[in-house]
Structure 1
Amino acid sequence: MNAHDHIVPSDAPLDQNFAHAASASAVNCPPPQSKRSSAGSSSIPAFKFDTRRVPIDQQYDSWRKSFSSMLELSERRDRSCGFEGKQTVWDLGSLAFSRIRTSALEFASVPGHTRREALDHWTLTVPLDGTISTVGPASSFQGGAGVVQVHSLGRWFEGNVTDSEMLILFVPRDFDPEVAHVLGAAEFSAIDTAMGRLLSDYFIGLAKRLPAVEAEYLPELVGATQSMIRACLLPSPGNIEEAQAPIARVLLEKARRIVQSRLFDPSFNANVLRRDLAISRTGLYRMFEPFGGVIHYLQHQRLLDAHAALANPNDKRRIIEIAEQRCFSDGAEFSRAFKREFGYTPSEVRAGRKSGVPSMPTGELATAAPEERLGVLLRKLHG
């Protein structure tokens, strides 16, 4: 463990922000569990990164690095005054939850044509203080304390945040079909409704109680979170301004499912997908523009699937066999595309030297550099 990193205790000085953002009503979240004397009990894995433990002239760069897998933070020429950033990340298995304190900054999504990681998660963000403003693909929105905001990391957006503390839940696309429908309808919006505030209260209670919850209760905790998202963000005619937006998002989810089902089909291409979806060429182009186009998206998914196979110690096939199954007829072409996408070769994955994209056990995550753990954990959700 690094000297400037430690497993997270509760941060009592920040509780005033919870009181500021939370309503007075009781929070519907799993109750804290008492510590057991059993040797088999353990806490939910949690990690902390604090820029104050980094040299002043490196603080902002280290903060940028910690978010580099999901966001591009604006450049800063003057690094002499340092930067305040605190980050707590909990590994919930199929979800990730974080508590963040940051100084003001500007942000943008990572462009699809430059990203090396398919971080296509949704984020549900609750500011505890300060304000987050976002310009999304079709509209702009902002929210302050206690207002849930929904972003999609797989699409273009940009914005800014004031000095703030916030909670963020990361939800992968394949977490649950019903949740995907709900979040697809709500993405790029601030949910300032009574039910949205209830979800905000839940997040606030979750952050306060997670340090006391034992790992064996993770299935119940994830199930409760899943139910809260469905109940509090369920789309209805009253909270969807335009019918076309959710229809387009449902269509995109259908497209994703079709792509996943045809990864091993060499005859599958953009024209086949367009016919399966019964949409125009222009409509298909617009749908996949944030991902660098249909061909780029399809190849990326095939490479991700190949990466998972190569990292699987039980898969003894040759690299070329794995490549050919995913429609790469030339081994050299596959290796070049793979290295261009991930920054390392298929052989390195097969040898066990690179395994970060599909999965990373908690033990390995604990040994990663503190500023790299958020990215590692978000990539782990694809596993």
Structure 2
Amino acid sequence: MEQVAAGAVPHFEVSSGSAGSDAAFAAFAQSVEDVFAIARTGTDDYRLELRAWHLGTLMLGSFDSSSLSFERAPALVARSGLDHLLVQLYEAGGFQGTAGEYPIEVAPGDIVVFDLASTLHTQASDFRNLSFLIPRAFFESHLDDPGALHGIVLRPDMPLAGILASYFRALVERVPALQADEAIAAAKATAALATTVLCTYAQADRRTSQPILSPFRAIAQTLEAGLHDPELDAEQVAARLGMSRATLYRVFEPVGGVAGYIRRRRLSRAALALAAPENARRKIAEISYENGFASEATFARIFRATFGLSPRAARERSAALWTLPQAAGGAPADPPEFARWMRTLRA
């Protein structure tokens, strides 16, 4: 976990007013390169006012920007090493696009959630938003499958969503004055409120007519414990739990089926392991075997088919940020350091 500087919350700032349009856009693009690839879509001079803070277990930012497109492609999912959810409150403007395979549209006052283990493509008008990057672990005690939140939109007329929006605004207003211990406490409170509200509304998500209820959690725990076994399949899981395969298939139908769930979890765990600096000296074959792939060749083929690049390329592209120096004291971070914060963010 990144240490919060005594007496000051680590922060990052970019302004087109002082840096100029081109320099501000370049700094923004570099700072969020692990989250999105961004592109300017307007013809006028680019405008940006960005302030962001690192609270130890989550990050938050205030963004006021000219129109942009945002892309999170499969290759970026693989190499970024991010296992977080991005929660955004749009104060002005909005966007249209897709979250995974689902269409999405966001208007002023809406709260939207993106799972960074999935893809997205959006086209935003001029906008102003508050963004919160929260590790997945905070959601896992509240929701069987946090990935079900990907693309969910909470409208401002939803009572709990209104409470959450008001809290987000209050936090961003006051965070510059926080001391280190206060910042850590604020991060915990923010994660608790956000996960509770979002997971409450997740059960009414437009994509499923029924919530994912128990016994999903028990089955998922069994699957997680067995992901290292290349023989793991629906028949084996059903036998271990004493249930029929038909029941097992029915429980997992809302998340794309048993086989698909196993494959996604194996690939996600392997991608995160490849990106982690503590695994830099481990062989790719070792990581593939511990995540249930029968051979390194099979792993490489499936990984490339899913993410569009090889495991080795994903590891090499993710390694560069870990060699960057850390910002000192309470001075504003530069774009590479800001990007590194996201990589080291943990619950």
TM-score by length of 2: 0.69
Indicate the residue corresponding to 1:342 in structure 2.
315
Secondary structure class of the residue paired with 2:29: helix
Between the two structures, name the one with larger relative contact order (CA 8 Å, sep ≥ 6): 2
1:168: Cα distance to partner?
0.8
Out of 180, 188, 201, the residue aligned to residue 223 of structure 1 is 188
Out of 269, 278, 296, the residue aligned to residue 311 of structure 1 is 278
Q: Which moved more, 1:100-109 or 1:322-331?
A: 322-331
Q: Which runs of 5+ in 1 are unaligned?
A: 1-39
Take 2:258 and 2:34, find their aligned partners in 1: how far apart are those partners?
20
Number of equivalences: 325
Q: Which moved more, 1:263-272 or 1:131-140?
A: 263-272
Amino acid at match of 1:189: V
Indicate the residue corresponding to 1:149 in structure 2.
112
- For residues 24-63 of structure 1, the aligned pairs below 5 Å read 41-52=6-17, 54=19, 56-63=21-28
1:88: Cα distance to partner?
1.9
Take 2:79 and 2:329, find their aligned partners in 1: how far apart are those partners?
19
Out of 149, 162, 176, the residue aligned to residue 125 of structure 2 is 162
1:226: Cα distance to partner?
3.1
Amino acid at match of 1:372: P
Take 2:123 and 2:218, find their aligned partners in 1: how far apart are those partners?
32
Take 1:363 and 1:329, find their aligned partners in 2: how far apart are those partners?
43
Indicate the residue corresponding to 2:167 in structure 1.
202
Indicate the residue corresponding to 1:124 in structure 2.
87
Take 1:191 and 1:77, find their aligned partners in 2: how far apart are those partners?
27
Q: Which runs of 5+ in 2 are unaligned?
A: 242-246, 301-308
Amino acid at match of 1:341: A
Amino acid at match of 1:109: R
Contact 1:263 1:301 in 2 (8 A): no
Contact 2:85 2:115 in 1 (8 A): yes
- Could you give the per-residue CA deviations for residues 250-284 of structure 1, whole angstroms, max 9, x where no partner exists? 9997787556534544544688679889228x959
Secondary structure class of the residue paired with 1:372: helix
Change (3 A) 1:197 1:206: same
Out of 352, 366, 372, the residue aligned to residue 336 of structure 2 is 372
Amino acid at match of 2:178: V
1:382: Cα distance to partner?
4.6
Q: Which moved more, 1:324-333 or 1:96-105?
A: 324-333
1:130: Cα distance to partner?
2.3
1:126: Cα distance to partner?
1.2
Change (3 A) 1:265 1:92: farther
Indicate the residue corresponding to 1:302 in structure 2.
270
Take 2:332 and 2:291, find their aligned partners in 1: how far apart are those partners?
31
Indicate the residue corresponding to 2:303 in structure 1.
none
1:214: Cα distance to partner?
0.7
Amino acid at match of 1:200: A
Amino acid at match of 2:31: S
Take 2:294 and 2:267, find their aligned partners in 1: how far apart are those partners?
13
- For residues 215-294 of structure 1, the aligned pairs below 5 Å read 215-230=180-195, 232-233=197-198, 235=200, 240=204, 244=208, 247=211, 260-262=224-226, 264-268=228-232, 278-279=248-249, 283=253, 286=256
Contact 1:148 1:197 in 2 (8 A): no
Change (3 A) 1:179 1:110: farther
Out of 172, 192, 195, the residue aligned to residue 135 of structure 2 is 172
1:75: Cα distance to partner?
6.0
Indicate the residue corresponding to 1:24 in structure 2.
none
Secondary structure class of the residue paired with 1:228: helix
Secondary structure class of the residue paired with 1:47: strand
Change (3 A) 1:254 1:343: farther
Is 1:102 matched up with 2:69?
A: no
Change (3 A) 1:306 1:249: farther
Contact 2:69 2:123 in 1 (8 A): yes
RMSD of aligned residue pairs (Cα, Å) = 4.8
Out of 25, 46, 65, the residue aligned to residue 83 of structure 1 is 46
Secondary structure class of the residue paired with 1:101: strand
1:183: Cα distance to partner?
6.2
Change (3 A) 1:270 1:216: same
- Could you give the per-residue CA deviations for residues 273-322 of structure 1, whole angstroms, max 9, x where no partner exists? 79889228x95994699xx98546514413533654x6289xx9999877
Amino acid at match of 1:302: A
**Identity in percent:** 17
